[in-house]
Amino acid sequence: MTGRNYYIYDVFSDEALAGNPLAIVLDAEDLDDAAMQRIAGEFNLSETVFVLPAENDNHTARLRIFTPRTELPFAGHPTVGTAIALAERAGTGGDGIRTSILMLEEAVGAVRCAVTVGKNAAYAEFDLPRLPVSLPIPIEPEAVAAALGLGHHEIGFENHTISTWSAGVPYVCVPVADLDVARRARIDAALWRSLLPELEGPAAAPYIYCRETVNHDHAFHVRMFAPDDGIAEDPATGSAAAAFAGAIMQHDALVDGSHGLLIEQGIEMGRPSSIRLEIDVHGGAVESARIGGHAIRVAEGRLLI
């Protein structure tokens, strides 16, 4: 029988049918760009990963990441999910805890991942291949509020204002007053698109956040909409959390040292997710950062193409 195997993982959750679902297609070296895009459209998940042999013999694998409509240079939940899938696939069995280091090649660069696999749970954490950088995109709060179906007085809290950041994929970080405002947000895709200048690469999607949370051990509650990528709303967005590290540093002025924060997402969708963001600060600036989370396999099968 021709074809190739695939897995479905729920990422940024340790429970099935929560978090962000991810399709992982193995042995994809003979697929061209058009075939990968069509297969990603067939799965119709936030992202589909295609695993290819690494170009560097010292690395684990090369990944190509597709939304239903476009290819991405980098994404967080595909990195976490694929690292766990490859570590589990390479495991030798047994009930003990296994830890491994993987180097995954993505278009953004090589991404170092640490994976811990146990009997009932698996966790992966990766170093950001690029630190967040601020993008000078002036957007008026009134226009952002209109595109998100909110009042302009509901944008911002404390000293947090709208800012745009990228750690490989750009996002407009939109602070809102509280959970009620976050829950009421709805995107007008055409109006949002009209606010943004033409940039090379993916358009900057809105990343809505507030300090009030559902889970009291979490630091921020967030939502992300990306209709132009075929994603009405994303249950968990690691690349956005990576960019968000810049906004946190700018507005919260973190002191030197290591800071671990939990970010909740997907609650409005019925797919609760938990993303761990660790930020190392030195000299008043982000020196390094990491994204981590659990993932669990929920399905596997074979593509007959």
Q: Which residues are catalytic?
A: 47
DSSP secondary-structure letter at 256? Answer: S
Closest CA to 263 of 284, 285, 282, 278: 278
Rounded to the nearest 10 degrees, what angle do helices 238-252 and 76-90 cross at?
A: 130
What is the gyration radius of the CA atoms in the chain, in angstroms? 19
Contacts 24+ apart (CB under 8 A), 116-121: 117/84, 117/87, 117/88, 117/91, 119/95, 121/14, 121/294, 121/296
Closest CA to 46 of 285, 292, 273, 289: 273
Closest CA to 167 of 260, 244, 115: 244
**Share in percent of the chain as helix, strand, coil (round to 5):** 25, 40, 35
Q: 283: which 2 tokens?
A: 């000299």
Residue partners of 40: CB distance under 8 A and separation at least 6: 23, 47, 48, 66, 67, 68
